[in-house]
Amino acid sequence: MNTKITKPKTLKRIDNTEFRIVWQDDHTSQYDLSYLRALCPCAECCKLRNDGQDVHSLFSNIGIGNIDKIHSAGIQAVDVQLVGRYAIRFHWSDGHRSGIYDFKFLRSICPTEKNKANSEEPGNICS
């Protein structure tokens, strides 16, 4: 697999609503912060999206669930931090900060690449 597609060249919070990643293969992904918040990969949010299923079952391949269950309208990122070399963590304006968004995951949820055949199944995103 081409690792350039899961390694960012630049990461940028554009304004209070948008976050942009330019990847090493020169693809640009632009995300609504509310979209990223709704897809938070932490166990708590996975549980919410998946109708309160047992946390252990979230490690199986059941997809990302219903993102409308996370109320994220108007959410802002208070802070964004790098986690090692593989992920970023957002500190959201609702106080939530447990989600670690690894770059593979971020690439797989890129709004402009949703229908790409080789995108990874987002089933194992829950941490």
Contact 10, 25 (CB under 8 A): no
36 binds Zn ion (CB under 5 A): no
Q: Which of residues 39-78 bind Zn ion (CB under 5 A)?
A: 40, 42, 45
CB of 125 to Zn ion, least distance (A): 11
33 binds Zn ion (CB under 5 A): no
88 binds Zn ion (CB under 5 A): no
Q: Which residues pair with 88 in a beta bridge?
A: 82, 101
Query: Nearest CA to 77 among 87, 68, 88?
Result: 88
126 binds Zn ion (CB under 5 A): no
Applying CB under 5 A, among 36, 49, 50, 99 the residue interacting with Zn ion is 99
Distances (CA, A) of 33 to 2, 30, 76, 93, 117: 27, 9, 7, 11, 25
For Zn ion, the binding residues (CB under 5 A) are 40, 42, 45, 99
